[in-house]
């Protein structure tokens, strides 16, 4: 059954006011079209064709929970303004080649007639013959172990009181020039509100382009939302559950860390960021009590449910610094492959604690205690004398000891490189200076490797670090990076 959109007349203006001037025009075009789409519905109870003056396609996605028990989401899409004979959608490819596997993909024209679809190798091509059309498919959100070491593979979660939707988990990426952006409508129970990493109003999210779609995060339901402008950047926190600390106290720490990291690099890569905070449902044993994930402008923080308010000024807050630091080391500077993850994760781990100290979230004493704990854990790691830090990410990342080898060893390698750079340049160049140099010369987002780092270090006067890097990163050397505790005082 079709029904008109019941939103008030000021809906377009209200949405436009949430955006930067650069995206406002696109959003108004998108929302104007979205209102027309909503008026006729996605079920095609009447024929509708749209053509904009520039002949550029437009996409509206909608999400509906179709099976609460099995956590099945039905995804519908409507493409308007297309003139090409065919349109291709692809599954976003995640870690180790894992990608979305939609069930029952089908396409139809605006009169409901099925269209031919060619599928294969993560691609679905619709033979639309230059006409507007709709697509539909299901996504199963249940996996055997939601919070294993493979947690990055699926962060979308739908519960009775709240939901968290990540684009890469549910949306196929259109290979179309969607110059006016993508609209996403999220079906929500009455009384729920929504917060997203892209501009939004109520249940509607405006994604600026196809590249941003996989990394768009929307949290709805029982999340409490706080917003603040930090160094010209919009920071939003969506936090659920009850804690021993107030939302405001936690958000103050988030903003303090964000401000320090933006100051380190001089500017923020994005105009807005969303932090989503939940309790970590699986801890202990071979699991991690704290887990953070960075996706573009979104950070998901899974915290130990036992976190005490005193720990807001302690090293557990490194998870915030770590994930936000990935905006530069991880996104602006993307690793060329798993063999360079020691740098992406290790250097980020090293600076996450430095940022906490410099932002006065922790004291020098707390930093020293954490540094010694990292060194001792690395020295006692069963893989430390057998597997190099550079090879750790090529191994089984479901193994907690191997993950610790990568992060702890990476921290210590970064510390050693920082000290070496300072010694080579008389204190004029530090590791953070090399990172800034690489970001400034990236021109946006680039893929980097050890050669990129070595060239940048050399350009800044740090000399040839190739042999030294090989010794500490590609040779198992626990005794060199982590001597006995007495030498750490």
* The pLDDT of residue 287: 63
What beta strand segments (E) does 187-284 contain? 194-196, 200-201, 204-207, 217-221, 224-230, 233-239, 272-279
CATH 1.10.390.10 describes domain 227-488: yes
Q: How far is CA 477 from CA 388, 419, 425, 465, 482, in A?
A: 8, 17, 25, 17, 8
Name the residue ranges covered by the structural domains of the chain.
11-222, 227-488
Domains 11-222 and 227-488 share a fold: no
- Sorting pLDDT into bands at 50, 70 and 90, what band is 207? very high
Query: E-strand spans in 154-216?
Result: 157-158, 162-166, 173-174, 182-186, 194-196, 200-201, 204-207
Of 143 and 194, the structure prediction assigns the larger pLDDT to: 194
0.75 exceeded by pTM? yes
∠ at Cα 470 (469, 475), nearest 5°?
A: 125
Share of the chain above pLDDT 70, in %: 81
Phi and psi of 185, rounded to 5°?
-105, 125
Lowest model confidence (mean pLDDT) among 108-112, 280-284, 297-301, 351-355: 280-284
Distance CA 14, CA 10 (A): 6
Asked if residue 284 lies in contact with residue 205, where contact means CB atoms within 8 angstroms, the answer is no
pLDDT bracket for residue 52 (50, 70, 90): very low
Closest CA to 86 of 133, 136, 122: 133
Q: Once rounded to an integer, what is the mean pLDDT over residues 281-301?
A: 80
Q: How many residues in the chain?
A: 489
pLDDT at 178: 81
Q: Is pLDDT above 90 for 290?
A: no
Q: What is the CATH number of domain 11-222?
A: 2.60.40.3650
Q: Which two tokens stand for residue 260?
A: 């320090």
Q: What's the confidence (pLDDT) of residue 100?
A: 87
Residue 262, pLDDT > 60, answer: yes
Distance, in Å, from the CA atom of 190 to the CA atom of 192, rounded to the nearest integer, reads 6
Got the DSSP string for 151-170? GGG---EE-SSEEEEEHHHH
Mean pLDDT, the chain, whole residue set: 84
3-state secondary structure of 411: helix
Banded pLDDT at 53 (limits 50, 70, 90): very low
What is the bridge-based pairing of β-strands 233-239 and 173-174? Answer: unpaired
Confidence of residue 246 (pLDDT cuts 50, 70, 90): very high
HEC readout, 427-485:
CCCCHHHHHHHHHHCCCCCEEECHHHHHHHHHHCCCCCCHHHHHHHHCCCCHHHHCCCH
Q: What is the distance, to the nearest Å, from the Cα of residue 422 to the centroid of all Cα atoms in its chain? A: 32
Task: Find all residues with CB under 8 Å of 17, minimum gap 6, and list them.
Answer: none
Would the pLDDT of 67 be above 80? no
The region that residue 106 occupies, defined by phi over 0 for left and psi between -120 and 50 for alpha, beta otherwise, is: beta
In a 3-state reduction of DSSP, which class is residue 236? strand
Q: What is the pLDDT of residue 480?
A: 81
Going by C-alpha positions, the residue among 387, 406, 388 that lies closest to residue 397 is 406
| Residue 444 pLDDT exceeds 70 | no
């Amino acid at each position: 059954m079709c029904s008109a959109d019941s939103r008030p007349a000021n809906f377009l203006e209200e949405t436009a006011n949430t955006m930067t001037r650069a995206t406002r025009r696109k959003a108004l075009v998108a929302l104007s079209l979205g209102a027309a789409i909503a008026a006729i519905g996605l079920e095609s109870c009447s024929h509708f064709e749209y053509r904009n003056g520039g002949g550029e396609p437009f996409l509206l996605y909608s999400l509906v929970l179709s099976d609460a028990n099995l956590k099945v989401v039905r995804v519908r899409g409507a493409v308007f303004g297309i003139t090409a004979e065919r349109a291709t959608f692809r599954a976003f490819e995640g870690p180790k080649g894992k990608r979305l596997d939609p069930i029952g993909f089908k396409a139809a024209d605006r009169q409901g007639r099925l269209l031919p679809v060619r599928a294969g190798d993560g691609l679905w091509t619709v033979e639309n013959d230059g006409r507007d059309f709709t697509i539909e498919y299901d996504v199963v959100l249940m996996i055997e172990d939601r919070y294993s070491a493979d947690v990055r593979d699926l962060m979308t979660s739908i519960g009775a009181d709240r939901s968290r939707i990540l684009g890469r988990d549910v949306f196929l990426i259109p290979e179309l020039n969607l110059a006016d952006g993508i609209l996403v409508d999220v079906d929500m129970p009455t009384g729920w509100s929504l917060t997203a990493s892209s501009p939004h109003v109520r249940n509607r999210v405006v994604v600026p382009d196809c590249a941003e779609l996989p990394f768009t995060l929307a949290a709805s339901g029982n999340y409490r939302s706080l917003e603040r402008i930090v160094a010209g950047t919009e920071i939003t926190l969506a936090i659920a559950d009850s804690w021993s600390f107030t939302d405001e106290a936690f958000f103050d720490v988030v903003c303090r860390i964000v401000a320090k990291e933006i100051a380190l690099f001089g500017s923020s890569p994005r105009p807005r960021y969303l932090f989503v905070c939940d309790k970590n449902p699986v801890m202990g044993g071979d699991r991690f009590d704290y887990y953070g994930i960075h996706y573009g402008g979104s950070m998901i923080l899974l915290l130990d449910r036992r976190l005490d308010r005193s720990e807001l000024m302690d090293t557990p807050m490194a998870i915030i610094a770590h994930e936000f630091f990935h905006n530069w080391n991880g996104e602006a500077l993307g690793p060329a492959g798993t063999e360079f993850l020691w740098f992406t994760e290790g250097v980020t781990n090293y600076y996450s604690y430095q940022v906490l100290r410099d932002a006065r979230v922790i004291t020098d004493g707390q930093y020293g205690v954490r540094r010694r704990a990292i060194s001792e854990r690395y020295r006692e790691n069963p893989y430390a004398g057998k597997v190099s830090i550079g090879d750790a990410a090529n191994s089984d990342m479901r193994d907690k000891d191997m993950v610790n080898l990568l992060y702890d060893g990476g921290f210590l390698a970064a510390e050693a490189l920082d000290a070496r750079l300072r010694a080579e340049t008389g204190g004029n160049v530090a590791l953070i200076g090399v990172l800034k140099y690489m970001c400034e010369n990236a021109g946006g987002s680039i893929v980097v490797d050890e050669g990129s780092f070595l060239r940048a270090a050399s350009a800044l006067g740090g000399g040839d670090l190739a042999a030294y890097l090989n010794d500490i990163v590609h040779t198992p050397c626990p005794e060199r990076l982590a001597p006995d505790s007495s030498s750490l005082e």
